[in-house]
A and B are shown apart, each in its own frame.
Chain A
Amino acid sequence: MERQGEIMNRKSERPIKITEVCLRDGSHVMQHQFTEDQVRRVARELDDAGMHYIEVSHGDGLGGSTLQYGKSFVDEMKLIEAAVDECKQATVAVLLLPGIGTVHELKQAHTLGAGLVRVATHVTEADVSAQHISMACELGMEAIGFLMMAHMASTEKLVEQAKLMESYGAQAVYVTDSAGAILPHEVHEKISALKESLSIEIGFHAHNNLSLAVANTIAALEEGATRIDGSVRCLGAGAGNAQTEVLLSVLDRMGINLGIDIYKMMDIAEHTVGPLIPRPQEINKGSLILGYAGVYSSFLLHAERAGQRFGLDSRDILLELGKMKVVGGQEDMILDVAAQLAKARKLEV
């Protein structure tokens, strides 16, 4: 195809780095049942295609294997070790949510070869990440702040919280659209405000619940973000993330080459990741409601299960959770809300 150099007008000259999250965000879709063989094969092929970072952890981060979020079939430390073993050039990344995982799991992951950690907090609670970001720096890992549910805070608040993470030593801060609820004009506003106020890199993590993941990621790059995420075949919570092979193709058309073999990425999607996925990652009524109501994407399957258990439409549960301004990690609220909705319905009858 004919190209005329870089046609995207980027507000940063730093190179773009991409993280493949299907082995972490996709853990939700797999109900945390990834096997070591699956992780080995996906990691090996991604590494061979030239992927920069490959994130491996329980969907809710290190230490997330719980009744609250779902138990892992294979200990995440084993999976991290396996991915590290398969990677010749890619860096294995991990996710850590303070309050769920601790610096102990972080040290263990580092010992096994993880080179980057994303320390994730709710968008207004950055100060719980200080311990973990500074520990990662001490260990010599790349430390990145991850401000989740970014749609719930004003741009001003977001900037204030990102600055805190910068002050703890983070090398980048992500705007994390955990609910897939951020609209394109909001991406422009948020990223450009961060670009003006921070000297570290800015990242954007999308969910495709409103079918905006690729477009929003492009918008973020235009405003100067240099760290982006994708999941092959949209293997991520809710309707998945920016679909990596699609995102890379769009970037290629815009004259941006990340050094990753697009043909190989398509093959991974078609022959390796596609067959793993329990059902197509299309936008169904559940994932659409996540984006519409601004609910944490990993709530989807939990809400569907609770809906079945209590005879409810999962949308009613998710809408109620959205109204209550529930934040990431509050999966216990799904059961609580579902049981109460069911009880209220019985009383009405």
Chain B
Amino acid sequence: MKLNACIIGSGNIGTDLMYKLERSEVIELTAMIGIDKESDGLNRAKERGYQVFYNGIQALRDHPDLADIVFDATSAKTHLRHAEVLEEMGKLAIDLTPAARGPFVIPAVNGNSYLDVPNVNLITCGGQATIPIVHAINSVADVSYAEIVATISSKSAGQGTRENIDEFTITTRRGIEEVGRADQGKAIIILNPAEPPILMRDTIYCEVKNMDEDEIARSIDQMAEKVKQYVPGYRLKQDPLFEGNRVTVFIEVEGAGDYFPVYAGNLDIMTAAATRYAEEFAWHMLEKQNAKSV
């Protein structure tokens, strides 16, 4: 028994997500919805036997049975329009844009806290990679200030990321505070055009109130293992550095190489997190249904 899902948005994120969902045991991808007939994502979806639509969210209005779960991989502005339609239709919206309309979800931190809300937001790729670490440090050392620097290869930064760069920094900062629980947050994103493209890398700086190097290092390791369960290429680049009340952590994210080559860990961590959350939701729904039928 699987739950039906569709993807709106056929850019880098939407297309990479298609490959992730293909491997899911509880999610059945039915369709990819876009607006650009020429898009590579829609062509690939068609080749792989999914229904494809070129008229955006209208497709879902015309075929409401396509999906119970709708992944939105368009843009922040577009998602705000979609969110209302999806809520009216009673669909679960998993939002991969930085629109930040629904509560913030990071599977390793609060994976099953919001299974009954109609719209959840995945913050940003930088947020998915760094906020778990902020949360891990905060849980043992109380973080007063956390700052993250996400560096991604230019090639992996699609049009959405580029047009939404302010939304990226602002939404990530909010996530650092609301999910990571730092008193104050700050986010920076850098695009690096080096060839061959660099792996996604993230640096996390935390200022803490209760410094305990061993406890902090242990907590970080545990959290990294948790993230690794759904993003296998997630790893600490070296041991955390300590100086006074400051902890510095270096992360590297290697992608699974689905739509983009492995350097695009930033795409991978978003789509892997979305898939993991959707699966949690699906298990939850299926359990409910089973309980009823017994």
Binding site for B on A (CB under 8 A): 66-68, 98-100, 102-104, 122, 124-125, 127-128, 130-132, 309, 324-327, 329-330, 332, 335-336, 339-340, 343
Contacts and interface: CB of A to CB of B under 8 A. Distances in A.
A104 B188 CA distance: 15
B142 interface: no
A124 B241 contact: no
Given A99-B190, A340-B238, A127 B162 contact: yes
Contacts of A104: 166, 170
A324 B162 CA distance: 23
A327 B238 contact: no
Given A326-B192, A329-B190, A102 B169 contact: yes
Contacts of A125: 154, 162, 191, 193
Question: Interface of chain B, helix or strand or loop or mixed?
Answer: strand
B203 A336 contact: yes
Interface in B206-248: 207, 237-238, 241, 243, 246, 248
Contacts of A343: 238
A125 B165 CA distance: 12
B189 A335 contact: no
12 contacts: A67-B147, A67-B246, A68-B205, A99-B165, A99-B190, A104-B170, A122-B192, A124-B193, A125-B191, A332-B203, A336-B238, A336-B250
A196 to B, nearest CB: 25
Nearest to B203: A332
Nearest to A68: B149
A67 B149 CA distance: 10
B157 to A, nearest CB: 8
Given A102-B169, A131-B166, A332-B203, 14 more contacts: A66-B186, A67-B145, A68-B147, A68-B149, A98-B165, A99-B165, A100-B188, A125-B154, A309-B243, A325-B192, A327-B190, A327-B194, A330-B151, A340-B238
Contact of B238 (A98, A124, A324, A339): A339
B287 interface: no
Chain B: interface size category? 20 to 34
A100 B169 CA distance: 7
A130 B162 CA distance: 9
Contacts of A332: 149, 151, 203, 248, 250
- 3 closest residue pairs by CB, A with B: A332-B203, A325-B194, A102-B166
A324 B201 CA distance: 14
A20 to B, nearest CB: 27
B203 to A, nearest CB: 4
A44 B189 CA distance: 35
Contact of A128 (B151, B191, B205): B191
A344 B248 CA distance: 19
B163 A102 contact: no
Contacts, number: 81
A132 B205 CA distance: 27
A307 B176 CA distance: 31
A124 B154 CA distance: 9
Interface of B: 145, 147, 149, 151, 154, 162-163, 165-166, 168-170, 186, 188-194, 203, 205, 207, 237-238, 241, 243, 246, 248, 250
Nearest to B170: A102
A128 B241 CA distance: 32
Given A99-B169, A336-B237, A327 B188 contact: no
Given A103-B166, A128-B165, A131-B165, A329 B154 contact: no
A340 B189 CA distance: 23
A99 B188 contact: yes
A66 B145 CA distance: 10
Nearest to A132: B166
Contact of A330 (B154, B190, B205, B238): B190
Contacts of B248: 332, 335
B188 A68 contact: yes
A128 B203 contact: no
A53 B166 CA distance: 27
Contacts of B250: 332, 336
Nearest to A130: B163
A117 to B, nearest CB: 14
Given A67-B246, A131-B165, A325-B194, A99 B189 contact: yes
- Kindly name the residue among B145, B170, B192, B237 whose own CB sees the greatest number of chain A CB atoms within 10 A: B192
Contacts of A335: 203, 241, 248
B11 to A, nearest CB: 15
Nearest to B204: A332
Nearest to A324: B194
- Kindly name the residue among A100, A104, A124, A130 whose own CB sees the greatest number of chain B CB atoms within 10 A: A100
A329 B11 CA distance: 27
Contacts of A132: 166
A126 B207 CA distance: 33
A336 B166 CA distance: 26
Nearest to B166: A102
Contacts of A122: 191-193
Contacts of B203: 68, 332, 335-336
Contacts of B246: 67
Contacts of B241: 335, 339
A98 B147 CA distance: 16
Nearest to A123: B193
A329 B188 contact: yes
Contacts of A66: 147, 186, 188
A100 B248 CA distance: 19
B274 to A, nearest CB: 23
A274 B248 CA distance: 35
